Chain A
């Protein structure tokens, strides 16, 4: 199997092979064969009588020591993955909510409220009084409401209940999967999956759905507060891929997830004093911040910061020999980074108390001293720059233009330029007319198990040819950005005639002088909430529920437990959701059956597991056709 389809990544891999540096692809090769029990979800380590395994071929044990069978083991495993994902997005969101609170009471001077309109919109939605009130007072109430979401309330999660359709809420109530606290449902999931609690696979899976809906609420909180503190994104033109590193600048990569770190680093990097110091150190072009993974998306949308690379290829940024500091917060940060940084002058800098890495420098980041910490981080990078080895510099001269930052507000804004009175009308009319055949949200990661980006690029070509509108978040958007799909040129080249006409009309009205890019970049992984907002608005306008819309989701190269959580709430929201990597469930026929079919009867959404990208695109197109027929539209 090829390692990547991205020529910049391939060039960095070649460099690693030449110098004998081991990367994720070597470590994966060393893991082969991976354990079949793990791959099928048939091992359990939930108690110390284990580990237990179930023989999928039926000759060996069919039960763990406690009597847990394949169905229970697999369902518990998935449930715990969803809980871990929810804990991660929840942790991110809670961090934001604390900061908003501190900002409002004057204890976080580096985090002023930048987007009052968004604050008020969120306040209105969640029932916080806005009229004649001071911004700070509103912010305090919004932050408190957000923080209340984490413990167990007597009522459903506000961020889920106020952002879904009525039909969805009724469905969630019907199946008793309404979460009342983000942290509390994570704890409940851990409880019900521990030794000797829930042994009904379907009940366990419904528990996972409940937890996943809390993940959704967490994502939505994270998006809302990021916009309040740093501004709601609007389309902006930048570049993506390793070529964005600049050999004449101090290069600093921000990697991880939370804009609380990356946005401040970007702000401080613009200070004159910092730039002067970089120049004095010999970096004639000052400071160059580049993004990796989701936090890269956050600063890409808001500050035009170029994206260096995405998740699976994160090590390649160091392999350019021109990276002076890799600054990380949490999630998706490979521990291997600090080993590779050791082979270069690169400083690996951790910032969060819960995410330290041996051999990295730890510069702790807190709300009270954010800018000061950012200055220390940048100074450390400038010092490292002086130790660069010119012989080791090898920046592939490869990057693509990319439009980023299509928030819900930006999309609705662009549409309202086409129709002032009724902004959603152009979108809906075109869906009805078939110019937009359907919508596909691409989300998730890059995985070492799939040739990097191969599934994304193969699927998008099939879908847009058939006039499917493409939204993307997270490392999915990174893949499309690096391959040049976030450009008007890609629209001209790949879009079917109907889709092309729509993207042209909106692009023209928005004053872009050309069509909208082929892929609308909606942000980071938590910003999947933005895609839900658009979808819910369309559903409400049409007076139908989400499970009837010709909208699908795909994670063609997924890795993380967070992706499992997002996939699960996408399914619960009624979206048929494709996975390009087989999750560890095949050991249980019952669970496999529930996730790929039975769940459709409950929520309308279901998982489509298909590693072949062309077949996957065909499957999604036929689902869209089925939904269109359901709405009485041409299919």
Chain B
């Protein structure tokens, strides 16, 4: 299963991913028409910074999703690809999902009074944020491959440590 992974050490904080996301969720899907669109299109991920770190925070499409579990109106659902999405017309604006999301990546559409969240650009091969990142701080990764690769890295460092003893 492929997930959007973040490599914080590569993030320039340029927020191009945010722009790419908002443009993808605009009417014409081009930057120049998106900046002129009113009300403005909304982004679904957020570049945040702390001491010595900056990185985008993005919906994980959790397998046991707190937002989905908490949604009482049946707005949030899991689609056939496994993405946690909205049936917009069902959202009642109770903000329970915002309350329970551990990452704080659900926001509120102030015009339409409904919850807004990442839809993993379900129509696109590569999500807009990943596509927009000039430094590949955002990448598509197979989760299982990822664990395997990490185990290899552990072995590699261990064996180096031994040979240096």
Binding site for B on A (CB under 8 A): 31, 33, 35-37, 39-40, 53, 55-60, 582, 586-587, 589
Contact = CB atoms under 8 A, between A and B. Distances in A.
A57 B41 contact: yes
Contact of A582 (B32, B34, B40, B132): B32
A58 B43 CA distance: 10
A587 B14 contact: no
B43 A39 contact: no
Interface in B1-54: 14-16, 18-20, 22-23, 31-32, 34-36, 40-43
Contacts of B43: 57, 59
A53 B14 CA distance: 9
B93 interface: no
A55 to B, nearest CB: 8
Nearest to A30: B134
B40 A35 contact: no
Contacts of A58: 40
Interface in B82-110: none
A59 B46 CA distance: 10
A582 B32 CA distance: 9
Contacts of B131: 33
Contact of B35 (A35, A40, A53): A40
19 contacts: A33-B16, A33-B132, A35-B14, A35-B16, A36-B20, A36-B31, A37-B15, A39-B31, A40-B32, A40-B35, A55-B18, A56-B19, A56-B34, A56-B35, A57-B19, A57-B35, A57-B42, A57-B43, A586-B36
A36 B19 contact: yes
Given A56-B40, A58-B40, A33 B20 contact: yes
Pairs A-B, 4 closest by C-beta atoms:
A36-B19, A57-B40, A56-B35, A57-B22
Bin the interface of chain B by size: 20 to 34
Contacts of B19: 36-37, 56-57
A33 B40 contact: no
Contacts of A582: 32
Interface of B: 14-16, 18-20, 22-23, 31-32, 34-36, 40-43, 131-132, 134
Contact of A59 (B20, B23, B42, B132): B42
A595 to B, nearest CB: 14
A39 B36 CA distance: 14
Of the candidates B14, B35, B40, B134, the one having the most CB atoms from chain A within 10 angstroms of its own CB is B35
A39 B14 CA distance: 13
Contacts of B23: 36
A35 B23 CA distance: 13
Contacts of A589: 36
Nearest to A592: B36
B68 to A, nearest CB: 24
A35 B134 contact: yes
Contact of A36 (B16, B40, B41): B16
A60 B16 CA distance: 13
Given A55-B18, A586-B36, 9 more contacts: A33-B131, A33-B132, A35-B14, A36-B23, A40-B32, A57-B43, A59-B42, A59-B43, A582-B32
Contacts of A587: 35
A33 B41 contact: no
A587 B34 CA distance: 11
Of the candidates B15, B19, B131, B134, the one having the most CB atoms from chain A within 10 angstroms of its own CB is B19
Nearest to B128: A33
Nearest to A33: B132
Of the candidates A33, A39, A57, A58, the one having the most CB atoms from chain B within 10 angstroms of its own CB is A57
Contacts of A60: 15, 18
Nearest to A70: B35
A589 B23 CA distance: 18
A37 B20 CA distance: 11
